Amino acid sequence: MIDIKFLRENPDIVKENIKKKFQDYKLPLVDEVIEFDKKFRESTLKGDELRSQRNSLSSQIGMLMKNGKKDEAENIKKQVQEINKKLEENEKLEAEYSNEIKERMMKIPNIIDDSVPIGEDDSHNVEIEKFGKPIVPDYEIPYHTDIMERLSGIDLDAARRVAGNGFYYLMGNIARLHSAVITYARDFMINKGFTYCIPPFMIHGDVVNGVMSFEEMDAMMYKIEGEDLYLIGTSEHSMIGKFKGQILDKKNIPYTMTSYSPCFRKEKGAHGIEERGIYRIHQFEKQEMIVVCEPEDSWNWYDKLWSYTVELFRSMDIPVRTLECCSGDLADLKAKSCDVEAWSPRQKKYFEVGSCSNLTDAQARRLGIRIKGEKGNYFAHTLNNTVVAPPRMLIALLENHYNPDGSVDIPEVLWPYMGGIKKLEK
């Protein structure tokens, strides 16, 4: 959510930003906010005037009663009662205008950074840099679930019987490899100075509304029936929610945290749940990182965060590239975002394995996360980034380390987490 003062003073900039995100249907929201804001401030001023009148009259009642002027005192009491009625009506209007403003402000996208390329969808995303040489071997790389099945590492049929499409049973050393990647990623981030955390896997609706747009919530979140609880789609939601409504001590900034969690997603409106694969699924596990920092430090942290993901993948000998997300591909709260994509030798192209985002103060403003400064409190900046999501990481690892005989080499950094196993074989 952007600053209403900024919108009030720069409506044209806000409208231009909406156009850059190809959301022209939201343009009327700006004028509507300005109109309701004007009414709200007028009603607030009127309320202050009424309270001032009431206080002035109320102060006279005691003196009149003391001097035996009961009739005059009763007359003033009646005036005070009338003012109270007007105040009650006025406060209802204030609440109504405030709700109308908030409802619209929550739909207006964050101001994107000047460096963001303009484009309507992800086809306009721009490659930034490649890391490692993408190799296509002279032998066929099977589909990732075929590799897993040959290694007795996955059971999709049983998962379909138990839960339907979009779920899986990982078995044996494939399951162990999955856990090894998560544990290695945890230690990798701890060594970067991040605090490890296992957060709640369910959050209240007000936290959901604070961390994402309504459109994202509808497309992603599973709600617990009869409860004000949602299953998290990523641990970033509960990690940022940890700071909801808090005034943070400046000396403790920045907060740098890395978290493990299962993630649950409806994938509504996505490209479809695969029956065979584990690329797009309803349930997976992930290691995440978040930062809550000073506004002037957020862009420095942004570059650090995505570079950590690149470093992690390269430590496992997986070629990757970074991709700048265009304006139309940015979620409403994001000011800038880049994807990390891993090389698929089977498909001969890169595919997304992580995403890094700077939300500036948009998330903090919705959640009320402020820093206590010498000259007053101000909103923090928040960032998030995927360390690793093993289902997709497994695809990249299996394909890039697949051998002609059907075995898979395990990257050296994972050996200690695999009990010394260096190769997966039938």
Torsion 168-272-386-205 (CA) sign:
negative
Residue 148 vs residues 101, 224, 424: alpha-carbon distances, Å = 52, 33, 10
- Residue 269 Cα to chain centre, angstroms: 18
Query: Who contacts 259 (Cβ-Cβ below 8 Å, separation ≥6)?
Result: 196, 197, 198, 199, 235, 236, 238, 239, 287, 288, 289, 290
The whole model's pTM is what?
0.90
- The reported pLDDT for the residue numbered 381 is 98
DSSP 345: T
Taking the chain (426 residues) in consecutive chunks of 10 residues, what is each chunk's mean pLDDT? 94 97 97 96 93 84 75 82 91 94 95 97 96 96 95 94 93 96 98 97 93 79 93 94 96 96 79 68 94 98 98 98 97 96 96 96 96 93 95 95 97 96 95
Residue matched to tokens 């919705």: 366
The amino acid that residue 105 corresponds to is M
- The reported pLDDT for the residue numbered 271 is 52
Tally Cβ neighbours within 10 Å of residue 5.
9
Cα–Cα distance, 185 to 112 (Å, whole number): 30
Give, for 291, the enclosing helix (H) or strand (E): strand 283-293
Give the chain's domains with CATH numbers.
4-105 (1.10.287.40), 122-424 (3.30.930.10)
- The reported pLDDT for the residue numbered 274 is 57
Give, for 292, the enclosing helix (H) or strand (E): strand 283-293
Long-range contacts of 307-311, Cβ-Cβ distance < 8 Å, separation of 24 or more = 308/188, 308/189, 308/192, 308/385, 308/387, 309/340, 309/353, 309/354, 309/356, 309/385, 309/386, 309/387, 309/388, 310/131, 310/340
Among 375, 387, 371, CA closest to 254:
371
